[in-house]
Amino acid sequence: MALILEPWQFKGLELKNRIMMSPMCQYSVSDEDGAPNDWHFVHYISRAVGGVGLVMMEMTDVVPDGRITVNDLGIWSDHQIPAFKRIIDQVHLYGAKIGIQLAHAGRKAESESLRPEAPSAIRFSPRYRVPHELTGDEVKRLVDAFASGARRAIAAGVDTLELHGAHGYLIQQFMSPLSNQRDDEWGNFTRFPVEVIRAVRSEIPSSMPLIMRVSAVEYDAKGYTFEQLLAMVEAFHQAGVDIFDVSSGGNAPVVPDRIYPGYHVPYGAAIKKAVGVPVIAVGILEEPALAESVLQQGQADIIALARGLLRDPYWANTAAAALGGTVQVPVQYHRAFKKSFLGQS
């Protein structure tokens, strides 16, 4: 069988295959209360029915001002727990595992009613507002907010958590000279992420892997280099991150010169080799043969798909058809497939 359809285990997380639904903001919370609704229920359950091994719920913000828009998911209050639990329980029924991506948008808050807040009062671009420069006490309260978000996610039944340390949101803002020019202790680029990692780790079982998404490069000569990122990743691993989900960019208003299938893969492979941790590859990997070859070459351990799964919620079956494997659909749909494709004789 193809590697991508093989089970994968790390600590207490057992996946039926190596396909992950990448986190994708839906901007679909209806009454600004942060809790997921029926849209989110259908959206996530469809991909679990479709056969992915791990669903990573979208960027979910740990305080109200940590949202990009007032329609983002949030996990700042206990009242939000039951709506997450409803989705998580149902995803489990279809044999998939599920995590929540914990985040804070920082200076990238867009809705007028939200206060953009960041390490330094430097705006992302002229299209954005100048953020409030967080005081030391406010930074400490945000570390606690990440821990409280993790506690609520555990209460809702997650199998893992992902910290959003990429795409120019608050954690990456602390990591980068583009956005962090503080002269207090929080001016140390690893300090805030490390404190968040330790605080989150203290809320979750030791058997639960903690994932962190990072931007490998910033595409701006004044930002951090990949070598500097590697050193930060090593510190994050020491602090308690088990698996890195490797993306790029988002902290400067520039895009890479070339975007092509698998363009993040070499960065993830380099992190895997240097730090000795499992990595998740993401970025135009919906061609099954390409996804499979990334795993076969040992460049990554899990393949995450975003847009490919929006187009085809049954991508796991598409991959099985292309690579020669069995499908993993609920029994109600078995009549649509040949017995051999279901692994039956």
Ligand X SMILES: Cc1cc2nc3c(=O)[nH]c(=O)nc-3n(C[C@H](O)[C@H](O)[C@H](O)COP(=O)(O)O)c2cc1C
Among 17, 20, 54, 58, binds ligand X (CB under 6 A): 58
First-to-last CA distance in the chain? 16
Should residue 308 be labelled a site residue for ligand X when binding is judged by CB under 6 A? yes
Strand-pairing partners, residue 98, are: 55
Nearer to ligand X, 182 or 213 (CB): 213
Among 17, 80, 101, 173, binds ligand X (CB under 6 A): 101
Among 15, 59, 211, 320, binds ligand X (CB under 6 A): 59
Should residue 23 be labelled a site residue for ligand X when binding is judged by CB under 6 A? yes
Nearer to ligand X, 164 or 182 (CB): 164
Residues 149-178 contacting ligand X, CB under 6 A = 164, 166-167
Nearer to ligand X, 79 or 307 (CB): 307
Among 307, 311, 330, 334, binds ligand X (CB under 6 A): 307
What are the structure tokens assigned to 6, written together? 């093989």
Alpha-carbon 325 to chain mean position: 27
Should residue 305 be labelled a site residue for ligand X when binding is judged by CB under 6 A? yes
Should residue 231 be labelled a site residue for ligand X when binding is judged by CB under 6 A? no
Provide, rounded to whole angstroms, the least separation between the CB of residue 128 and ligand X.
Answer: 18
Should residue 72 be labelled a site residue for ligand X when binding is judged by CB under 6 A? no
Should residue 215 be labelled a site residue for ligand X when binding is judged by CB under 6 A? no
Residues 3-22 contacting ligand X, CB under 6 A = 22
Should residue 97 be labelled a site residue for ligand X when binding is judged by CB under 6 A? no
Scanning 137-145, 195-203, 265-273, 305-313 for contacts with ligand X by CB under 6 A, the matching segment is 305-313
What are the structure tokens assigned to 283, written together? 């970025």
Nearer to ligand X, 24 or 322 (CB): 24
Should residue 216 be labelled a site residue for ligand X when binding is judged by CB under 6 A? no
Should residue 302 be labelled a site residue for ligand X when binding is judged by CB under 6 A? no
Nearest to 171 by CA among 213, 121, 222, 111: 213
Nearer to ligand X, 56 or 186 (CB): 56
Q: How many residues bind ligand X (CB under 6 A)?
A: 19
What are the structure tokens assigned to 30, written together? 């209806």
Should residue 247 be labelled a site residue for ligand X when binding is judged by CB under 6 A? yes
Phi-psi region of 284 (alpha: psi -120 to 50; beta: other; left: phi over 0): left
DSSP-derived pairing of the beta strands 13-15 and 8-10: antiparallel
Should residue 306 be labelled a site residue for ligand X when binding is judged by CB under 6 A? yes
Nearer to ligand X, 24 or 321 (CB): 24
Distance CA 328, CA 314 (A): 9
Should residue 24 be labelled a site residue for ligand X when binding is judged by CB under 6 A? yes
What are the structure tokens assigned to 345, written together? 């004789």
Residues near ligand X, by CB under 6 A: 22-25, 58-59, 101, 164, 166-167, 213, 247, 282-284, 305-308
